[in-house]
């Protein structure tokens, strides 16, 4: 019975979502408090229904109920329990249901967070959110029903694609979805502000936590996906400018811009229209990401579904929401009260530049992703736009942006002083130059760009530290005082310092890859190859049987300076159920660096082996975690939610250097 209860709950959720849209919206127009209060109740009810549906699907997967098509196609009674559960969203139907679950969860959270959002704004936001929910529920029920049944039930399921049977892949789609869907709330808030015809700092403060949550999860999701591709696909790369990766990068770039422009709005009541536009854009790019991945217009690892019917439906959703969003914007934006203008040299001026660069960078990624599709549709010419394109377009813009970050951080609100800002970052700049020089000396050369990257990374990290030090310590102050003041700094200040330092860490990790080594050899047992500082010796190859696969494993010994330091094992697996071979890369972490071994074919007793030495490669993902941590710190700042201007005037007065201050 539970399966059909879940199925019915999904239908009921659709009905409730209709109510969530219609009645409260009517109430908001009529200013009827009673009708408006239906919105939160309906939003919570929708969430409960979708939760029941999701639980029912999980139960069907866990109990191997092969009367459900989704379970037959994506599960197997012998699969480990963990992968039975993660298999729920390892496929198209289940992942769309997860999408809706997160959507409904956010709706319910907005509904119950009574005190942070003014009432009419909340009503309209929930109504817009309800429209999104309706669209996706209709999509799932009409074209991707996870509860479709089959009778009589087959005796056994068809297993999960072994390449997807992995904990990294199990975690990263939910992270990405929380990010994507988080921006749907931001979109709903933006649409509500346009409908209300009013937007101010209160709006920015209400939206801030949602935009931060979405950003944090998107950051982690992208990093997780990148690490998954790195160790699971077995070819040593971590970013391929694959359309699916771009699909998650674009909303991240737009969302990062949004986060910063909202700051200007919150502090200076400016950039209102631009912020709304960015909010709509970010969600549009999230939808585009879903469309690109789900419709099968791209061929990529993540495209589980290739079905034109679904693609068309998603395209309709895409056109409706993006078109609708921009139409609403064009119609209502002129009604909004314009914010003030400001001096070009100021924190807000720097943030505008940040937004311009981020938006342009996002646009280049969009062009590189969409252009091949458009060209093929128009002329039939098939092209591929790969890493070289993005390295020429995205990279310069990103580098320019990152180079300016420390200066922007150092500028004061309202009226900045370029020279003063330069003086504040001079220490960080010195560290960067010294670091770059040391790099050149130690590595005896190296690509210019990589040396520059090392310097840039150090610059960003040092500037992050400097940011905290400058605001809590002045010359001659005892350390204890400085520490107390440092801990007294608003968490949002810590958050931004940490997040920017995290970007620096990522840049360091990326730059270090210029010194990575790749060796391609055929080895017989006992033979060795050189990879970076290590001699890699093949100890032997042996067959092995796993729970649902057979594998050919090979063991390697890593020798540095004559002494064995570690061993690493790589294998090639064959999954009989799917007649699929996968490469299991052998990865050995040594400090922050890794040795990465993947196997090719063996012939005449010799094994084709690809060995990588990847110095400081972990910094790339660690940096992303640090960035997310910064976001979390900022999220936990209570004062911003209450609208406390920080730091208070008294504190500001006691600081010799001009500090960024909230103004009004």
Partner 1 sequence: MTIWLAFAVMTGIAVLAVLWPLSRRLPTRAGAVDQTAFYAAQLAEIDRDLGRGLLEPGEADAARAEAARRLIRASAGAAPATGGDSEPALRRRRAASAVALSTIPLVAIAVYGAVGSPGLPAQPLAAREAPRAGGMGMAEAVARVEAHLARDPADGRGWDVLAPVYLKSGRAGDAVRAYENAIRLLGETPDRLAAYGEALVAAANGVVEKAARRVFERGLAGDPKSAKAQFYLALAAEQDGRPDEAATRLSALIASAPPGAPWRSTVEAKLAALSAPAASAAIANLPASEQKAAIAGMVEGLAQRLAQDGNDAQGWLRLVRSYVVLGDQAKAVVAVQAGKRALAARPADVAGLEGLARELGLVEPAAKP
Partner 2 sequence: MTRKQRRLALIGSALGVLAVAVGLVLFAMRDTIVFFYGPTEIAQKGIGPGARVRIGGLVKPGSMVREAGQTVQFAITDTATDVAVTYTGLLPDLFREGQGVIAEGTLQPDGSFRAASVLAKHDERYMPREVAAALKKQGVWQGEQPAAASDAKAVTQ
Query: Which residues make up the interface to partner 2 (CB under 8 A)?
Result: 73-74, 91-92, 158, 161, 163-164, 233-235, 237, 240, 296, 298-301, 303-307, 341-344, 352-353, 356-357, 360-361, 363-364, 367, 371, 381-386, 388-389, 391-393, 396-397, 520-522, 572, 578-583, 598, 600-601, 603, 608, 610
CA–CA distance, 193 with 122 (Å, rounded to integer): 10
Taking Cα atoms as reference points, which of 219, 83, 148 lies closest to residue 502? 219
| First-to-final CA distance of the chain | 60
List 25, 42, 253, 333, residue binding partner 1 (CB under 8 A): 42
- How far is CA 640 from each of CA 185, 205, 263, 409, 657, rounded to the nearest angstrom? 19, 7, 11, 18, 23
Residue 299 touches which of partner 1, partner 2, none (Cβ within 5-8 Å per kind): partner 2
Strands (E), 200-242: none
Q: Does 579 bind partner 1 (CB under 8 A)?
A: no
Among the residues of 445-489, which ranges form H helices?
A: 448-472, 479-488
Residue with tokens 């988080």: 182
Instruction: Find the binding residues for partner 1 in span 73-92 (CB under 8 A).
Output: 77-78
Q: One symbol per residue from 145 to 184: x for binding partner 1 (CB under 8 A), - otherwise; what is it?
A: x-xxx-x-x-xx----------------------------
Q: Does 618 bind partner 1 (CB under 8 A)?
A: no
Q: How far is CA 113 from the centre of its chain?
A: 25
Token pair listed for 494: 């810590």
CA–CA distance, 122 with 129 (Å, rounded to integer): 10
Taking Cα atoms as reference points, which of 568, 539, 541 lies closest to residue 553? 541
Is residue 27 a contact partner of residue 130, using CB atoms and an 8 Å limit? no
List 90, 107, 120, 416, residue binding partner 1 (CB under 8 A): 120
Of residues 49 and 280, the one with the C-beta less far from partner 1: 49
Closest approach, Cβ 269 to partner 1, in A, equals: 11
Residue 233 touches which of partner 1, partner 2, none (Cβ within 5-8 Å per kind): partner 2
Residue 120 touches which of partner 1, partner 2, none (Cβ within 5-8 Å per kind): partner 1
CB atoms within 10 A of CB 331: 10
Closest approach, Cβ 580 to partner 2, in A, equals: 7
CA–CA distance, 506 with 138 (Å, rounded to integer): 40
Residue 36 touches which of partner 1, partner 2, none (Cβ within 5-8 Å per kind): partner 1
List 375, 639, 655, 659, residue binding partner 1 (CB under 8 A): 639
List 25, 44, 70, 174, residue binding partner 1 (CB under 8 A): 44
CA–CA distance, 332 with 273 (Å, rounded to integer): 10
Of residues 290 and 466, the one with the C-beta less far from partner 2: 290
Of residues 272 and 614, the one with the C-beta less far from partner 1: 272
Of residues 91 and 284, the one with the C-beta less far from partner 1: 91
CA–CA distance, 581 with 162 (Å, rounded to integer): 9
Of residues 130 and 532, the one with the C-beta less far from partner 1: 130
Q: One symbol per residue from 179 to 218: x for binding partner 1 (CB under 8 A), - otherwise; what is it?
A: -----------------------x----------------
Of residues 103 and 163, the one with the C-beta less far from partner 2: 163
Closest approach, Cβ 77 to partner 1, in A, equals: 5
Q: Is 115 helix (H, G, I), strand (E, B) or coil?
A: coil
Q: One symbol per residue from 14 to 33: x for binding partner 1 (CB under 8 A), - otherwise; what is it?
A: xxx-xx--xx--xx--xxxx
Token pair listed for 145: 């029903």
- Of 117-125, 311-319, 454-462, 476-484, which segment contacts partner 1 by CB under 8 A? 117-125
Closest approach, Cβ 92 to partner 2, in A, equals: 8
CA–CA distance, 496 with 465 (Å, rounded to integer): 11
CA–CA distance, 542 with 345 (Å, rounded to integer): 66
Residue 32 touches which of partner 2, partner 1, none (Cβ within 5-8 Å per kind): partner 1
- How far is CA 53 from each of CA 91, 628, 631, rounded to the nearest angstrom? 16, 31, 32
Residue 15 touches which of partner 1, partner 2, none (Cβ within 5-8 Å per kind): partner 1
Query: Which letter does DSSP use for residue 333 in this model?
Result: G
Taking Cα atoms as reference points, which of 445, 456, 361 lies closest to residue 404? 456
Closest approach, Cβ 653 to partner 1, in A, equals: 11
Residue with tokens 């770059």: 436
List 80, 118, 197, 308, residue binding partner 1 (CB under 8 A): 118
List 382, 444, 603, 649, residue binding partner 1 (CB under 8 A): 649
- How far is CA 663 from each of CA 265, 269, 343, 579, rounded to the nearest angstrom? 11, 10, 14, 65
Closest approach, Cβ 643 to partner 2, in A, equals: 27
Of residues 294 and 500, the one with the C-beta less far from partner 2: 294
List 286, 548, 594, 598, residue binding partner 1 (CB under 8 A): 548
Closest approach, Cβ 169 to partner 2, in A, equals: 12
β-bridge pairing 586-590 and 528-531: unpaired
Angle at which helix 448-472 crosses helix 491-512, to 10 degrees, equals 160
Closest approach, Cβ 78 to partner 2, in A, equals: 18
Angle at 120 between CA 117 and CA 125, to 5 degrees: 70
CB atoms within 10 A of CB 618: 18
Q: Does 283 bind partner 1 (CB under 8 A)?
A: no
φ and ψ of 652, to 5 deg: -65, -40
Closest approach, Cβ 337 to partner 2, in A, equals: 16
């Amino acid at each position: 019975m539970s399966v059909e209860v879940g199925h019915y709950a999904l239908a009921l959720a659709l009905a409730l979502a209709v109510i969530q849209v219609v009645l409260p919206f009517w109430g908001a127009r009529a200013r009827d408090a009673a009708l408006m209060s239906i919105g939160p109740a309906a939003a919570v009810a929708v969430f409960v229904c979708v939760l029941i549906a999701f639980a029912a699907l999980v139960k069907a997967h866990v109990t191997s109920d092969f009367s459900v098509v989704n379970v037959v196609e994506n599960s197997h009674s012998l699969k480990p329990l963990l992968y039975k559960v993660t298999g729920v969203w390892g496929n198209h139907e289940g992942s769309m249901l997860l999408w809706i679950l997160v959507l409904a969860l956010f709706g319910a959270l907005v509904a119950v967070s009574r005190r942070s959002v003014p009432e009419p704004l909340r009503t309209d936001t929930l109504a817009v959110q309800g429209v999104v929910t309706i669209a996706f529920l209709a999509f799932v029920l009409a074209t991707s029903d996870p509860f479709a049944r089959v009778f009589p039930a087959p005796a056994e399921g068809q297993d999960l694609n072994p390449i997807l049977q992995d904990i990294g892949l199990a975690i990263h789609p939910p992270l990405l979805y929380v990010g994507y869907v988080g921006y749907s709330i931001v979109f709903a808030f933006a649409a509500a502000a346009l409908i209300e015809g009013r937007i101010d700092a209160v709006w920015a403060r209400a939206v801030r936590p949602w935009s931060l949550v979405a950003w944090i999860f998107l950051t982690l999701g992208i990093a997780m996906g990148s690490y998954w591709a790195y160790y699971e696909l077995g070819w040593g790369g971590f970013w391929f400018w694959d359309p699916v990766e771009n699909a998650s990068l674009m909303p991240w770039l737009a969302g990062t811009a949004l986060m910063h422009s909202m700051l200007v709005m919150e502090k200076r009541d400016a950039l209102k229209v631009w912020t709304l536009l960015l909010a709509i854009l970010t969600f549009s790019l999230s939808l585009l990401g879903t469309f690109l991945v789900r419709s099968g217009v791209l061929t990529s690892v993540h495209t589980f579904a290739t079905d034109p019917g679904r693609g068309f439906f998603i395209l309709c959703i895409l056109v409706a929401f993006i078109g609708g969003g921009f139409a609403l914007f064009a119609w209502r934006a002129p009604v909004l009260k314009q914010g003030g203008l400001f001096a070009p040299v100021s924190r807000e001026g720097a943030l505008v530049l940040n937004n311009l660069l981020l938006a342009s960078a996002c646009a280049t990624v969009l062009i590189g992703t969409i252009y091949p599709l458009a060209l093929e549709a128009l002329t039939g010419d098939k092209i591929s736009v790969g890493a070289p394109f993005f390295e020429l377009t995205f990279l310069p813009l990103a580098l320019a942006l990152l180079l300016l970050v420390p200066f922007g951080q150092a500028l004061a609100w309202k009226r900045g002083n370029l020279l003063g800002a330069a003086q504040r970052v001079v220490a960080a700049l010195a560290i960067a130059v010294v670091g770059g020089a040391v790099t050149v000396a130690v590595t005896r050369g190296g690509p210019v760009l990589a040396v520059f990257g090392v310097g840039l990374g150090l610059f960003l990290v040092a500037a992050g530290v400097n940011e905290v030090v400058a605001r809590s310590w002045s010359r001659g102050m005892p350390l204890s005082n400085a520490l107390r003041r440092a801990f007294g700094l608003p968490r949002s200040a810590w958050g931004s310092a940490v997040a920017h330092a995290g970007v620096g860490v990522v840049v360091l990790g990326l730059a270090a890859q210029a010194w990575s080594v790749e060796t391609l050899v055929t080895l017989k047992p006992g033979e060795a190859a050189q990879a970076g500082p290590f001699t890699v010796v093949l100890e032997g190859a042996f067959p092995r049987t796993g729970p649902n696969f057979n594998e050919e494993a090979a063991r390697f010994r890593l020798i540095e300076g004559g002494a064995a330091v570690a061993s690493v094992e790589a294998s090639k697996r064959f999954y009989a159920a799917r007649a699929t071979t996968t490469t299991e890369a052998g990865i050995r972490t040594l400090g922050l660096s890794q040795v990465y071994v993947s196997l090719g074919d063996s012939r005449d007793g010799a094994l084709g082996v690809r060995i990588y030495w990847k110095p400081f490669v972990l910094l790339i993902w660690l940096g992303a975690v640090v960035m997310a941590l910064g976001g979390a710190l900022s999220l936990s700042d209570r004062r911003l939610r209450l609208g406390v201007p920080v730091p208070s005037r008294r504190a500001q007065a006691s600081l010799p250097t001009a500090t960024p201050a909230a103004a009004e």
